[in-house]
Amino acid sequence: MSRDTVYLAATGTALPGDPVDNAALAKLLGASEEWIDLFVGTRTRHFAWDPATGEVLRTLADLCAEAGSRALAAAGLDPADIEFLVLATATPDHLLPTTATEVADRLGMDHLPVYQLQAGCSGAVQALDLGRCLVAGGRRAGLLIGGDVTHRFLAARRSAARMPTEELVNHVLFGDGAGAVVLTAEPDGPGERGVALRGVLNRCAGRRRPPGQFIDWSGISDRDTERRMLAEDYKAIEEHVPAISVEIVWELLGELGWTVDEVDHILPPQLSGRMTARIMEHLPVPSAAEVSCVTETGNTGNALPFLQLDRLLPRLGPGQRALAVTVESSKWIRAGFALERA
């Protein structure tokens, strides 16, 4: 059975451990709390590893299973009700088995299609895009999860003074976390005012553009490699992301036939407290309330839009509309989506 509308039934999140404030992060990096306050504007983040020892305390699968379990419980569904699972991440625990299949196992899901999307900040939107297609194709309910962990790339082993700036910037931006959404073919129940997914924008626009975010990996033959593993072209991101975000808003509005005054809530890109504030100054949605999490969670990559959705859904009143915008600078993917509560 083909369907036109899919619904967001519930959300769930997982943020490991206690929040790590800027004083603690500065101590970890040997960096400056005052600089992080001023130039990043993110107040706290969570790490699934012990900053003192580097020991991994919780894996990506741990976080994703927790977020997924919470979303299922909030939707009032059992694992057997879920007909597909999509997990988006840039930092899987292993290449195989995929973290997506590990999470399906942990949640007691079997004999269902399980997809893993290798993605960054647009991963949650890619999951929504794939999920809506699967529901439109006849599936009744699916679980979408996004998450990332930083333990392979961030460590207090080196002096911040001697770290290349394009690597150093990652240490002050990112945190660990996971978020999940249950997607359904029907609103929660008879008479329920379901949250409908009205539109999704998911477009790679990186032809002939160098990457804005680069993450490498190594294996048996090159595990001692000296090559660059992590780099962010923060100058290109600062220059281009605000303008691209504005274009995404106009494109979504144009496709939906909505006006700027009809947007009640806006979920802007969550790069850092400072950058998100700068992007918000440019977005043409004067009457929309901002739904952000980055100042408390840090940039959690694939988890971000789901963490924002977790904050949005309780605030989204009957008849209200919301837009979400995200830019994945790795290969300049433009992404966003639109929601409306009946």
Partner 1 sequence: MHITSLEGFLSLVRDELGLDTAGVEAADADLADLPGWDSLNLLRMVVLLEEHGRPVPVHRLLQARTLQEIYTFAKE
18, 23, 35, 218: which one contacts partner 1 (CB under 8 A)? 35
Which residue, 32 or 320, has its beta carbon nearer to partner 1? 32
Which DSSP symbol is given to 220? G
Q: What distance in Å separates the CA atoms of residue 139 and residue 116, rounded to the nearest whole number?
A: 18
Question: Which residue shows structure tokens 């939707």?
Answer: 75
Does the protein bind partner 1 through residue 169 (CB under 8 A)?
Answer: yes
Residues 234-253 that bind partner 1 (CB under 8 A): 234-235
Which residue, 119 or 173, has its beta carbon nearer to partner 1? 173
Does the protein bind partner 1 through residue 220 (CB under 8 A)?
Answer: no
**How many other C-beta atoms can be found within 10 angstroms of the C-beta atom of residue 95?**
10
Does the protein bind partner 1 through residue 228 (CB under 8 A)?
Answer: no
Give 39-92 as a DSSP string: HT---EE--SB-TTT--B-S-HHHHHHHHHHHHHHHHT--GGG--EEEEEESS-
- Give the nearest distance from C-beta 156 to partner 1 in angstroms: 12
94, 159, 284, 315: which one contacts partner 1 (CB under 8 A)? 159
160, 252, 312, 335: which one contacts partner 1 (CB under 8 A)? 160
Does the protein bind partner 1 through residue 23 (CB under 8 A)?
Answer: no
- Residue 208 gets the label, from left (phi > 0), alpha (psi -120 to 50) or beta, of left
Does the protein bind partner 1 through residue 165 (CB under 8 A)?
Answer: yes
**How many other C-beta atoms can be found within 10 angstroms of the C-beta atom of residue 320?**
17
Which residue, 99 or 272, has its beta carbon nearer to partner 1? 272
H/E segment holding residue 328: strand 321-328
Per the DSSP assignment, residues forming a β-bridge with 115 are 86
**CB-CB contact of 312 with 293 (8 Å):** no
**CB-CB contact of 111 with 135 (8 Å):** no
1, 55, 157, 162: which one contacts partner 1 (CB under 8 A)? 162
Does the protein bind partner 1 through residue 25 (CB under 8 A)?
Answer: no
Which residue, 136 or 156, has its beta carbon nearer to partner 1? 156
Does the protein bind partner 1 through residue 34 (CB under 8 A)?
Answer: yes
Residues forming contacts to partner 1 in the complex (CB under 8 A) are 30-32, 34-35, 38-39, 159-163, 165, 168-169, 172, 234-235
